[in-house]
Amino acid sequence: MKKPTTEIYSDARILFYDIESTGLQADFGTLLAVGYKWAGDKYVYIPAITDYPTFDADPTDDKRLVADFIEVMKTADMVVTYNGKRFDQPYLYAKCLEHKIEIPPNIPHVDLYQTVRHNMKISRKSLQNVGYHLSLSAEKTPVEGRIWKRASAGHRPSIQYIVDHCAADVELLEEAYHRLKPLVRQHPRVGLLAACRYCGSHNLQRRGRYLAVVAGPKVRIRCSDCGGWESRPANRVGFAK
């Protein structure tokens, strides 16, 4: 496990998560595990379908796993995923409806895949390739097809391998977030209005002005701690250095 981040987040609870399933469609697949980690916490938590007493009788019964993670998600102020808007979140919501579990509230969602897709010209947009391109320390582990097939059939050692794989994914996801977040133009505000939108720091610098089409002159602001950029109205910059 890498050291917890030293960046400031005020009181914001930022949740990184990744799901592992037997297939890409919720009506034909089973949720095997969910890896999640809170920003600033050094631990990755991975509840798996094998943790529940119903597994031996029915290895496709993922109801309690889904319900338990949804309760975790409800406590988040913001979630971060990789391709989660196209896969992880819709998969979970489909499972919620299948099991008659309450859908979580509309939580602000940063999908780093969308950030990479629109802002980085690289050969492959996978999280593994992003990590390689950025020389990140965490590494995404490969999973062979035979392991997925065995896990789909309820093979405990194969499911455990996928759990370990999921932990590596979540570590890489958080590390990628800290490098990519200055590119997240619609990033939710994690602190007070006078603080950095991305990390809540007050260590801000003015970096020139630009002319907005409607609102008039604005000032560019850069956070010296996380590198995030944003703009503020020209009459609201007394706090910046």
pLDDT tens-digit series, residues 118-166: 999 999 999 999 999 999 987 777 778 899 899 999 999 999 999 999 9
Q: What is the pLDDT of residue 194?
A: 76
Do 109 and 222 belong together in one domain?
A: no
Do 175 and 194 belong together in one domain?
A: no
Do 145 and 196 belong together in one domain?
A: no
Q: Which residues does 162 contact at the CB level (< 8 Å), separation at least 6? A: 20, 32, 33, 143, 147, 148, 151
Residue 9 lies in a domain: no
pTM attached to this predicted model: 0.87
Do 177 and 204 belong together in one domain?
A: no
pLDDT classification of 7: cutoffs 50, 70, 90? low
| Domain range for 149 | 14-183
**Residue finishing a domain among 163, 183, 203:** 183
Checking if the pLDDT of 4 tops 60, the result is: no
Do 168 and 229 belong together in one domain?
A: no
Q: Which residues does 79 contact at the CB level (< 8 Å), separation at least 6? A: 14, 15, 16, 17, 73, 107, 108, 109, 110
Q: What is the tens place of the pLDDT at every residue in 169-211?
A: 999 999 999 999 999 988 988 877 778 888 888 898 888 877 7
Give the domain CATH number at 34. Answer: 3.30.420.10
